[in-house]
Structure 1
Amino acid sequence: MEFQTKDGHDVVIKEATKEYAQYMMDFYNIVGGETDFLSFGGNEFKRDIEEYRAFIESTRLEQNSIILLATINGDIIGIASINSSQKDRTKHVGTLGIVISKRFTGQGLGRILMEQLIEWAASNGVTNKISLVTREDNVFAIELYEKLGFETEGLILKDTLIHGVYYNTLVMGLFV
């Protein structure tokens, strides 16, 4: 899929392949330092490259999991995914994760990626619920999630510690 950001950049959205593993790890390590809303900080996304390649490839083979990359001229500016268990009792629930480069927040990319994931989940034949977690004070993200139909399911108290401050985690879900 291709679309244009509000500021005129041409973005290509495609499924991740193992060839992107190092670029994805590099992206995560950069954006981890751009915001405190992620579960990791700058340079904290540490994975063995071969294991990460294998993870990406196994995700591609699962009917109920997907990783999408948003790129401009081949450079990753966003990653969005739904990862699901392969266990019979829980494979109907996918966990959504989304990370966008600070430079491209507010450009409509988050909404486009979320809509792509929701559409994919609704049509994959397995997923009927998408779950996500976010910090309780991540108001812009929560506003988008609610606009897309996600509802609050719970609150995990003092789940994250950043620079000596505890933050609560909001659990949200969407039935597709």
Structure 2
Amino acid sequence: MKFQLKGENEVTVKEATKEYAQQIIDFYNIVGGETDFLSFGKDGFKRDVEEYRTFIESTKQEQNSIILLAFLKDEIIGLGSITSSQKDRTKHVGILGIVVSKRYIGLGLGRALMEKMIQWASANGMTNKISLVTREDNVQAIELYEKLGFEKEGLVKRESLIDGVYYNTLLMGLFL
């Protein structure tokens, strides 16, 4: 899938394969230093490359899970994922994660990735709810999630501790 960001940049979105494992780890470790809205900071995504390759491959085999990468030329600038349990009682729920490089926030990339993942989840024959978590003060992201139909479902108090400050985590869900 290709689309234009606001401006002139053409972005290519494709499903992750194990060959991208190191590039994904590097991307996470960079963006972890660009925002405090992730569950890890700069260089805080500690994963073994072989272990992560195995994770990507097992995710590709699951009917209810996907990892999408957004590329500008050969650089990953965004990542969206839906990961789901394989347990019968909860496999209908996909957990959504989205990360966009700071340079590309506000250009439509997050929305495009979200729409693609929602479309994919609606069509996979298994997922009928998408859940996500975000910090309660991540206003820009929450506005996007609500525009796409997500509802606030709950609040986990003092879930994150960053530089001595506690933050609440908002739980949101979208029924397909």
Which residue is 2:54 aligned to? 54
Q: Which amino acid aligns with 2:92?
A: H
Which residue is 2:128 aligned to? 128
The C-alpha deviation readout for 1:111-138, integer Å capped at 9, x for no partner, is: 0000000000000000000000000000
Q: Which amino acid aligns with 1:105?
A: I
Does 1:98 pair with 2:98?
A: yes
Deviation at 1:7, TM superposition (A): 2.0
Q: Matches of residues 72-83 of structure 1 in structure 2 within 5 Å?
A: 72-83=72-83
The C-alpha deviation readout for 1:145-172, integer Å capped at 9, x for no partner, is: 0000000000000000000000000000
Q: Matches of residues 21-170 of structure 1 in structure 2 within 5 Å?
A: 21-170=21-170
Deviation at 1:8, TM superposition (A): 1.2
The C-alpha deviation readout for 1:78-127, integer Å capped at 9, x for no partner, is: 00000000000000000000000000000000000000000000000000
Provide the C-alpha distance between the structure 2 equivalents of 1:60 and 1:7, rounded to a whole number of angstroms: 32
Provide the C-alpha distance between the structure 1 equivalents of 2:59 and 2:113, rounded to a whole number of angstroms: 17
Provide the C-alpha distance between the structure 1 equivalents of 2:135 and 2:48, rounded to a whole number of angstroms: 28
- Calculate the aligned-residue CA RMSD, in Å: 0.4
Q: Which amino acid aligns with 2:115?
A: E
Provide the C-alpha distance between the structure 1 equivalents of 2:48 and 2:2, rounded to a whole number of angstroms: 31
Provide the C-alpha distance between the structure 1 equivalents of 2:47 and 2:32, rounded to a whole number of angstroms: 14
Provide the C-alpha distance between the structure 2 equivalents of 1:7 and 1:139, rounded to a whole number of angstroms: 24
Provide the C-alpha distance between the structure 2 equivalents of 1:8 and 1:131, rounded to a whole number of angstroms: 32
Secondary structure of 1:116's partner?
Answer: helix
Following superposition, which runs of at least 4 residues in structure 1 exceed 2 angstroms of deviation? none
Q: Which amino acid aligns with 2:126?
A: V
Deviation at 1:74, TM superposition (A): 1.4
With the length of structure 1 as denominator, give the TM-score of the two structures: 0.99
Q: Which amino acid aligns with 2:162?
A: I
Secondary structure of 1:37's partner?
Answer: coil
